[in-house]
Structure 1
Amino acid sequence: MSDRNPGPEERREWLRQEERKRNPLGNMNDAHNGGGLTDLIGMLGWKTTGIVFSIVIVILLGLLFI
């Protein structure tokens, strides 16, 4: 057995897989109730999220000043 503790991302993924095993139709309910953006942000990481937000802001500013 290993003594290493799982990181927050590994633990989150493990919990997500366990929830899917217990409730396979739960993701349809989650999609209906929202949570898409929070799942996306949690999956990407802070660097990628910052890059995506920066690109969106640049596009919006470009459209504003055209």
Structure 2
Amino acid sequence: MPNDKETPEEIRERLRQEELKRNPAGNIHGGGLPDLVGGLGWKGTGLLILVIIVAFILFTFFFL
């Protein structure tokens, strides 16, 4: 697979997979925020942030 044809997302994923092969115990606690955001893209990340903000507003409105 030539490196000049890979997108930045593919390069990051390939490097992450190589790191997991070298250090499988490093992924015990899950992927974390970078994997979540990388998998969602910018639209999904924006939607996630919007849902969190709306949930916080509704929580404060009804329970405080």
The interval holding the TM-score normalised by the smaller chain is: 0.7 to 0.9
TM-score under structure 2 length normalisation:
0.75
TM-score under structure 1 length normalisation:
0.73
Pair 1:58-2:51 in alignment? no
Aligned to 1:20: 20
Change (3 A) 1:3 1:60: closer
Pair 1:42-2:38 in alignment? yes
Structure 1: how far apart are the matches of 2:54 and 2:13? 32
Moved over 2 A (4+): 1-4
How far 1:38 sits from its partner (Å)? 2.2
Aligned residue-pair number: 62
Alpha-carbon RMSD across the aligned residues, in angstroms, is 2.3
| Stretches of structure 2 lacking an aligned partner (at least 5 in a row) | none
Task: Determine which structure has the larger helix proportion and give its number.
Answer: 2
| Stretches of structure 1 lacking an aligned partner (at least 5 in a row) | none
Once the two structures are superposed, what CA deviation does each residue of 1:7-26 show, in whole Å capped at 9, x if it has no partner? Answer: 11111111111112222222
